[in-house]
Amino acid sequence: MQGLVVALDINGTIVDGDSIDPELVGSTSLTEPARDLITDLTKRISISKQNIQVVVFTMGADWPGVLQQIEDISGGVISFDRGSGLIYVGRAAGADPPAVFLRQLVEVNPDKQPFEHDGIMYDGTDPTWLDPGPKFSYEMFRERTEAGKHLILRGVYKSGNETVVGREDNTLATKLVVSKLPVIVFDDHPGDWEVISPKQRIVKTVSPGNASGGETATDFCKELTQFEMLL
């Protein structure tokens, strides 16, 4: 079977809640369609030996609970290295060719703030990028992210540093995947993504709790199967 990258947003995509928009705070449990997807991916990886990389890309501090749920549902088949599997990704302002800054991502304990880790000051919702470190080309980013297998990536909303672009700046896509494998992305905000890959599909996703009017919740497994048929 064809190898794949499955990239997932958290808020409003695999959970109903949204920790970024205070008006939309809701459940941080994986939705039923998301659980079905994790179960499907687990079977594909463990039984069919399909080469699948799961990339969870968020913009907040909501990822530790999600990481745990994915590991639990998959029985550890999809697990995340607490070192190389956690990366904070910033976009380099005005870089040509485009580049990113990569820092080690850590869990935020609200009681221990403020604290600094790997050049980033964690204090409140939007950590400040005091020292972004070296620029990584897209090729270097691909090598680094391939090595990490399943990943939790955090994108920048607001960096507090003019050399690091976040979503608030509205210039570059916050979420980036560069891969030699086909990539399918699920996100309720598809505009957040830039994907460099041989084949890709960005699925605008609706979670059950956010489906209103005539909308139906996205069936991840069905979308994944349809994507594969085009490969």
Binding site for Mg ion (CB under 5 A): 9, 11-12, 188
Please identify, using beta-carbon distances, which residue of 141 and 193 lies nearer to Mg ion. 193
Please identify, using beta-carbon distances, which residue of 11 and 74 lies nearer to Mg ion. 11
Find the shortest distance in angstroms from Cβ 58 to Mg ion.
Answer: 8
In three-state form (DSSP H/G/I as H, E/B as E, the rest C), the secondary structure along the chain is CCCEEEEECCECCCECCCCCCHHHCCCCCECHHHHHHHHHHHHHHHCCCCCEEEEEEECCCCHHHHHHHHHHHCCCCCCCCCCCCEEEEEEECCCCCCEEEEEECCCCCHHHCCEEECCEEECCCCCEECCCCCEEEHHHHHHHHHHCCCEEEEECCCCCCCCEECHHHCCCCCEEEECCCCEEEEECCHHHEEEECCCEEEEECCCHHHCCCCCCCCCHHHHHHHHHHCC
Please identify, using beta-carbon distances, which residue of 38 and 92 lies nearer to Mg ion. 38
Find the shortest distance in angstroms from Cβ 81 to Mg ion.
Answer: 24
Please identify, using beta-carbon distances, which residue of 9 and 16 lies nearer to Mg ion. 9
Please identify, using beta-carbon distances, which residue of 44 and 187 lies nearer to Mg ion. 187
Please identify, using beta-carbon distances, which residue of 11 and 53 lies nearer to Mg ion. 11
C-alpha distances out from residue 45 to 3, 51, 59, 203, Å: 10, 6, 27, 22
Find the shortest distance in angstroms from Cβ 207 to Mg ion.
Answer: 9
Find the shortest distance in angstroms from Cβ 16 to Mg ion.
Answer: 11
Cβ pair 153, 55 in contact under 8 A = yes
Find the shortest distance in angstroms from Cβ 79 to Mg ion.
Answer: 23
Find the shortest distance in angstroms from Cβ 163 to Mg ion.
Answer: 26
